[in-house]
Amino acid sequence: MATLVLTVTGADRAGLVSSLSTSVAEHGGSWLTSRMARLAGTFAGVVLIEVPDAQVAALRDGVARLADSGLTVAVTVAGSASAPSGIPLRLNLIGHDRPGIVHQVSAALAAFGASIDHLATQTREAPMAGGVLFEAEVDVIAPPSADLPALRSALEEIADELMVDIEVSDAGLVAG
């Protein structure tokens, strides 16, 4: 079996997931994991599937034909399924929205060799203060050799500079 990652985008409309899942099923594929959302009128998603090796080329052709209905699908052979090893952390961030928040936080994490396992962000109206709030939930895997106090300190400096709240906690994830 081949394990593939499908990256999907298109103008949001009813039936997009059905079209994609039909193509996967027609080629003997199994839908394993997915993350999908409507973002500003655009449907976007990532899907992990398995298909018989002999069906990979036909699946690629099948999902390419979905472009006729406005759905663009990129097919990538998945990497190894080994779980990342290290120290699992969870970051929760909230503050007034401004450019550069994700950039500064991700750069700090990268500087300490930490990788982002999951990132979910959103903006919403601030209920009493006015303006727009930015929220992020980030699952991170820091290398076993990471200087966690220094990483926390770097994130605190960013929080102070950007005037946002960043909580760093043990993610409770199983590290490999």
Task: Identify which of 39, 14, 48 has the alpha carbon closest to the alpha carbon of residue 120.
Answer: 39
pLDDT of residue 130: 77
35 and 73 in a single domain? The answer is yes
Q: What is the pLDDT of residues 130-174, one digit of tens each?
A: 789 999 999 999 999 999 999 999 999 999 999 999 999 986 544
72 and 114 in a single domain? The answer is no
66 phi/psi in degrees, rounded to 5: -70, -15
Domain count along the chain: 2
The domain containing residue 148 runs over which residues? Answer: 87-170
155 and 96 in a single domain? The answer is yes
95 and 130 in a single domain? The answer is yes
64 and 124 in a single domain? The answer is no
Contact 66, 23 (CB under 8 A): yes
The radius of gyration of the chain from alpha carbons, rounded to an integer in Å, stands at 20
Q: What is the pLDDT of residues 40-94, one digit of tens each?
A: 989 999 999 999 999 999 999 999 999 988 899 999 999 876 767 899 999 999 9
15 and 60 in a single domain? The answer is yes
pLDDT of residue 174: 41
pLDDT of residue 100: 92
Contact 61, 118 (CB under 8 A): no
130 and 59 in a single domain? The answer is no
Contact 92, 136 (CB under 8 A): yes
